Each structure stands twice: as structure tokens, then as C-alpha cells.
Amino acid sequence: MTNGKSFLSRQDLLALAVLAALLFIVLPVSVDIFRLNLVGKYLTYAFVAIGLVLCWGMGGILSLGQGVFFGLGGYCMAMFLKLEASTPEATKIQSTPGIPDFMDWNQLTELPWFWEPFKSFGFTLAAILILPAIFAFIVGAAMFKRRVGGVYFAIITQAIAAILTILIIGQQGYTGGVNGITDLRTLMGWDIRTDSAKYVLYFLNGGLLMAVLVLCLFVLKSKLGRLLVALRDKEDRVRFSGYDVANFKIFVFCFAAVLSAIGGAMFTLQVGFMSPSFVGIVPSIEMVIYCAVGGRLSIFGAVYGTLLVNWAKTTFSETFPELWLFGLGALFIAVVLVFPNGLAGVYRAQVAPRVKKWLHTRKSGPDAPVQDPQAAE
Amino acid sequence: MNTLANNTDFLLSIENLTVSFDGFKAVNDLNLYVDENEIHVIIGPNGAGKTTVLDLICGRTKATDGSVKFRNRELTSMKEHEIVREGVGRKFQNPSIYEDLTVFENLEISFPRGRNVFGALTFKRDEEVVSRVREIAEMVFLDTLLDMQAALLSHGQKQWLEIGMLLIQDPELLMLDEPVAGMSVSERKQTAKLLNEITKGRSVLVVEHDMKFVEDIAHRVTVLHQGKILSEGSMAKVQADPKVIDVYLGH
């Protein structure tokens, strides 16, 4: 039983400390800024993977369209940055100065109305958090209130990812089309392309990731976390215990969507562009693989899984570019067949008992943590 | 609708209840009443519509026609969780518990507090919850197994756990679908004792096949056949009814 005093057990604190040491000390001193920026990019996917742990691993709701929310967050940020980069002076060679370059190429002569509010940074930040939540709420309410679940839900989310990609590519004048929104330069006058800015953004990203992990631990340790597990297992029993099941599913789907959007916004800041290739079906499924490799029941596992798969992707596609997709497929099959609980499952079986022992011998007391099997370590 | 009485003294009154699946009437113009503090057992051959009646009461199946009134409140238009909140608890035929959670957590989730999203996030495991969980666990013979993962319980213990999960909600009407199916003889006896204990202050509607068990617990028996009532009354009266002997009990 977890005690009511604090939702962070000693094991959680250890896991947070180890990850913080890796992200904030080991990696920054051991790799150059180019590689560190890549790690930062990978970590933005980890936000999506963490959301999938809650939504899919805990709640049993498999979404194959998380790229939609990653994209919504990323595009919101990109729109703000693009408007800032499109001052009349910077775009004076265009036939309509003051609007983003791709609009000018597509014969638009004024800024579309829905771009206007993205001139405000405050609105942009709010939109990054609220837009995906609203969108997820609409999708979730439409599906879960009608008791659509399982495979059908997965297919519908995939269809939404496909629709949004087609929409973005088709509406080139409004969205930048297949190239996405590129050539982003400054954030409130601060050049995000310099090495020092990349360091700052990397640490900001890492800090946000830590905050998100703590928030997720709070949710998972609350009764809501146990309810998610319960409704994954026996949805009818939860319903006939007096809960409106759909509301809980909508909540966790929206929560995962907002996390994905934060990742998307940080992606845009660190990578300097956003394109539909991060929105569609393939990236959405890749994000599910990160989560599965890390362990779909562990939020920390999801972070390590994301890092590992992306590190492998970069390494292999530098050396054997044509073999990478086969490697990714093989990895997924291996995870499903051999390690159904991913890296976290291996950790839980092999390493965790030893860590627990070590923690107990270090500081044995009456409040030593007694973990329930569900808690993410 | 011309029913016998629109408001009754019964805890549960089912009137003219009909449900048809593609023209097949699984329950056909059924009238059934459950008194306060009564153990009412529904028996009947396979396919008689016993489980469907429970499904109709708890909102899992929507009625084609007729009414289900609980304390004179119409249930047929309510959603499942609203019916539960009215005070109707339902146990399923197969033990339906959360296998990945502990016995304590199973009971805690069923504790009737913090049932919306915000309430669940801020739910505190306080003294009231802990003592209530312990009290119920003792009633269903699981007080020494609170920290065990529910998947590891025996079949009979899972059945008891589910009954416990209903009891912690303190329902006025408890519906049990074959509560002793798959139980050993001693477990059956314990369950009969349990049911007689928990019926103080509440009514229990049971679907059961085991005649010995029915004899042990039933205050009143309804025999269903092809969605209609074949016979109703005390166990002795029903057992002596030639129609019942003909279609169900056998000669």
C-alpha cells in the first residue's frame, strides 16, 4: 500500500535523480552540442511516449494518432516563430511583405485570420496547451461516450492522423504544405539557432520533462491511476461501481494529448522547423514503438525507450540507411515476443529487487517503501 | 400504460417489462416485485431470460417496453452508473474483479467517494476508507489477504471479493448472478451464511441454478421460462408446482 503522505516513493526519487543526472550532467559533458541537440529532439518524443504510457499502458486506450497532437503543439509554436521571422523588413523582396514566405509563393496577399492571434506569445503558449486538449476532448467524447474502444479507436485515431496530414499538405498556402514551416529564427528576439540557445533549450526541455514525470507520478499514484488500470482490466465492473467510464477515458486521452503537444512545441524550438512528416501515421506508430520498447507500464521506461530507439535509428541510418526500417520492425517484434513489458520489464525483473535491497540496507525504517506492482519505478 | 399501481411499497417493481432482440422476446411482459429485506431468487432453465432481467434492471440492456422502478424512481431511462448511485449493485456471473490490483485496492475503488475525475485525483486514503475496507474484507473472509494481488485469489475468493466490492457501496438492492457457481461445498455454505448476514437492511436478487443453495437462502422464488413467469412463491410451493416440475426440475 502506498502511504498517503507523499506520492513520491524513495524509488521514484531515485529514478528521477538518475534520469536528471543523465540528462543534466552526463550527456552535456560527454557529447558536443550537435549531438546534445539531437538528444533534445529525441526527448521531445519522450513526452508523447509518456502520454502513451498513461493512455495505452495504464488505461488500455491505444492511440495510433499521437502525432496529431505533437503536430498541433509543434505547428502552434512554428506559426508564432514564423510570424516573428516574417517582418516586413525581412520579407521586403516578396510581392506582399510581412507575411510568411510560403504564403507569398502561394499568391496569398494577406495573413489568414487564424494566423493573426499567433502574433502573441501568450496566446501561442495557451494554444499549445488548450488546442490539443479541445481536439482530444471532441474526439474522445465522440468515441468514448459511444463506447467505441480497442481496435476501432486505434483505427479512427490513425485515420485522423492521415486526414490532418493530407489537410496540411493540401492547404499549402496556409500551412507551408509538405515542406512544413521552415526557416525559424528567433523567439522574442532571441536567436534560437546559436549554440548557447540550443543549450538553454535543451535544459528547458529536460526540466519540462522532469516536471511532466512528477505530474504523471502524481496522477498514477492517485486513485485515478488505479482506476485506469481497473478499467483496462474490467471496464464493466468500473461502470457498475458507479463511475462514468467515458469521462476517465476522455481525461487521460486529453492529458496524453497535452503532453504530446508540449513535446511538439519543444521540437519546433530545438529543431527549427515543423513539417507534416511528424504528424502522420508513420511517426505516430513510431512513437508507440518507443513506448513499447521502453515498457508501456513505466513512464521512466518510456523515456529510456525513446532515447534508445532514436539513438539506434540515428546510428544505424548513418551507417546502413536502407536497413533501418527493417531493424525497427525487428525490434518491435522482439519486444512483443521476448520482452512484453519492454526495458522497464527487464529492469523490474532483474535490477529492481537489488535496488530495493540496497535502499533498505541504506536506510531501513518503518516508512520504507513497499511498492505495489503497478507503480512505475 | 395501465399498470397495477404506479407507486408501490416494493423496493423494486418491474412491470410489463419486455425486451426483444431482432423479434425474439428474451423477456416478455414480465412483472416482478422485490420486497425490502427479501432474498428473492430467480431460477429457470437455460435461456429463460434470468440474466437478461438483471441486465435490464442495471441498465446494461435497454428495455423495449415496460418499466423498472426502484423506490418509485424509473431506472430504464438512467445510465448504468446513475443506477448504481441510486443504490443498485450488480455482481456478474464470472468473477469480475481487477486482477492487477490488490484486494485492498479493489475494495477501495468501489468505495463510494471521488467518483468523478477530479474526485479521483484528490481522493485520500483516510481512516474512514481504511476501516471500511477492513470491515468489508472481514465480512467476505478476505481480511488476511488485503495486500495480495487479486489475480492470485482462488475462484471462490474472487466471487467473495466481488460481493465485497458491492457491499462497500452499501446498495439497497444487491443483484447476484450465480454467486456460488464453481464453488466448493464448504465455500457454498460460507456464501449462504454471508448472504443471510448481508440481507439485514437490504434486498438481494439472486439468479442461481444450484437448488440446494436456493433452498438455503431464498425467501421467495420466481421461476422464469421463455421470458415469462412460470411460477412464483416459496421454495416449497414452487417445487410442488407441476408446471415447474415439467419444464425445469424434472420428475
Domains of chain B and CATH, by start: 12-98+170-249 (3.40.50.300)
Strands B65-70 and B12-21 come out as antiparallel
Residues A234-251, mean pLDDT to the nearest whole number: 95
Interface check for B61 against chain A (CB to CB < 8 A): the answer is no
Q: Mind listing the pLDDT tens digit for each residue in B184-194?
A: 889 988 998 88
What confidence score (pLDDT) does residue B210 get?
84
A114 falls in which pLDDT band (50, 70, 90)? very high
Strands B88-91 and B73-74 come out as unpaired
A242 neighbourhood in chain B, CB within 8 Å = 81, 84-85, 112, 115, 169
User: How far apart are the C-alpha atoms of B7 and B97, rounded to whole Å?
Assistant: 36
**Assigned C-alpha cell, A372:** 505495489
User: How far apart are the C-alpha atoms of A110 and B103, rounded to whole Å?
Assistant: 64
Say if CB B191 and CB B216 are below 8 A apart: no
Interface check for B84 against chain A (CB to CB < 8 A): the answer is yes
What confidence score (pLDDT) does residue A293 get?
92
What is the H or E stretch that residue B14 is in? strand B12-21
Strands B65-70 and B73-74 come out as antiparallel
Phi, psi at A297, each rounded to 5°:
-105, 0
A365 falls in which pLDDT band (50, 70, 90)? very low
Residues B208-232, mean pLDDT to the nearest whole number: 89
By three-state DSSP, how is residue A304 classified?
helix
What confidence score (pLDDT) does residue A228 get?
95
- Nearest CA among A185, A198, A182, A167 for reference residue A275: A182
Give the number of A-B residue pairs with CB atoms closer than 8 Å: 94
What confidence score (pLDDT) does residue A362 get?
65
Q: Mind listing the pLDDT tens digit for each residue in A153-181?
A: 999 999 999 999 999 999 999 999 999 99
| Spatial strand order in the sheet of B88-91 | B88-91, B173-177, B203-207, B39-43, B220-225, B228-233
CA distance A150 to chain B (A): 18
A355 falls in which pLDDT band (50, 70, 90)? confident
Interface check for B37 against chain A (CB to CB < 8 A): the answer is no
CA distance readout (Å), A374 to A57, A151, A226, A304, B104? 11, 24, 8, 19, 14
CA atoms within 13 A on the CB side of A289: 21
User: What average pLDDT is seen over chain B?
Assistant: 90
pLDDT at residue B118 greater than cutoff 90:
yes
A375 falls in which pLDDT band (50, 70, 90)? very low
Q: Mind listing the pLDDT tens digit for each residue in B119-171?
A: 999 999 999 999 999 999 999 999 999 999 999 999 999 999 999 999 999 99
| Spatial strand order in the sheet of B12-21 | B24-34, B12-21, B65-70, B73-74
User: How far apart are the C-alpha atoms of A159 and A63, rounded to whole Å?
Assistant: 11
B54 falls in which pLDDT band (50, 70, 90)? very high
User: How far apart are the C-alpha atoms of A252 and A52, rounded to whole Å?
Assistant: 9
pLDDT at residue A13 greater than cutoff 80:
yes
Complex ipTM, two decimals? 0.90
Residues B233-239, mean pLDDT to the nearest whole number: 90
What confidence score (pLDDT) does residue A279 get?
93
User: How far apart are the C-alpha atoms of B171 and B51, rounded to whole Å?
Assistant: 19
CA distance readout (Å), B235 to A311, B95, B174, B192? 72, 27, 20, 16
CA distance A75 to chain B (A): 30
Out of B60, B80, B109, whose CB is closest to A227? B109
CA atoms within 13 A on the CB side of A182: 10
- Beta carbons of B117 and A251 less than 8 Å apart: yes
- Nearest CA among A13, A29, A174, A15 for reference residue A104: A174
Residues A116-129, mean pLDDT to the nearest whole number: 95
Residues A98-125, mean pLDDT to the nearest whole number: 93
Interface check for A195 against chain B (CB to CB < 8 A): the answer is no
Integer-rounded Cα radius of gyration of chain B = 18
A219 neighbourhood in chain B, CB within 8 Å = 121
pLDDT at residue A325 greater than cutoff 90:
no
What confidence score (pLDDT) does residue A212 get?
97
CA distance readout (Å), B142 to A99, B160, B195? 70, 8, 15
What confidence score (pLDDT) does residue A363 get?
58
Percent of chain B with pLDDT over 70: 97
Q: Mind listing the pLDDT tens digit for each residue in B77-112?
A: 999 999 999 999 999 988 899 999 999 999 999 999
pLDDT at residue A248 greater than cutoff 50:
yes
Residues A117-133, mean pLDDT to the nearest whole number: 96
Cα A82 to chain centroid distance, Å, stands at: 22
B90 neighbourhood in chain A, CB within 8 Å = 240
Q: Mind listing the pLDDT tens digit for each residue in A30-58?
A: 999 999 999 999 999 999 999 999 999 99
DSSP label of A181: B
Phi-psi sector, B16: left (phi>0), alpha (psi -120 to 50), beta: left
- pTM for the full model? 0.91
What confidence score (pLDDT) does residue B9 get?
80
Range 128-147 of B in CB contact (< 8 A) with A: 147
Place of cell 509543434: A74
**Assigned C-alpha cell, A237:** 465492473
Say if CB B106 and CB B98 are below 8 A apart: yes
- Nearest CA among A178, A150, A371, A187 for reference residue A266: A187
Cα B250 to chain centroid distance, Å, stands at: 27
What confidence score (pLDDT) does residue B211 get?
86
What confidence score (pLDDT) does residue A374 get?
43
A191 falls in which pLDDT band (50, 70, 90)? very high
pLDDT at residue A373 greater than cutoff 50:
no
User: What average pLDDT is seen over chain A?
Assistant: 90
Q: Is the dihedral of CA B145, B149, B155, B158 positive or negative?
A: positive
pLDDT at residue A249 greater than cutoff 50:
yes
Say if CB A305 and CB A294 are below 8 A apart: yes
CA distance B69 to chain A (A): 18
pLDDT at residue B6 greater than cutoff 70:
no
Say if CB A236 and CB A123 are below 8 A apart: no
B246 falls in which pLDDT band (50, 70, 90)? confident
DSSP label of A4: S
Phi, psi at B40, each rounded to 5°:
-110, 125
Q: Which of the two residues, B217 and A361, has the higher pLDDT score?
A: B217
Residues A314-329, mean pLDDT to the nearest whole number: 84
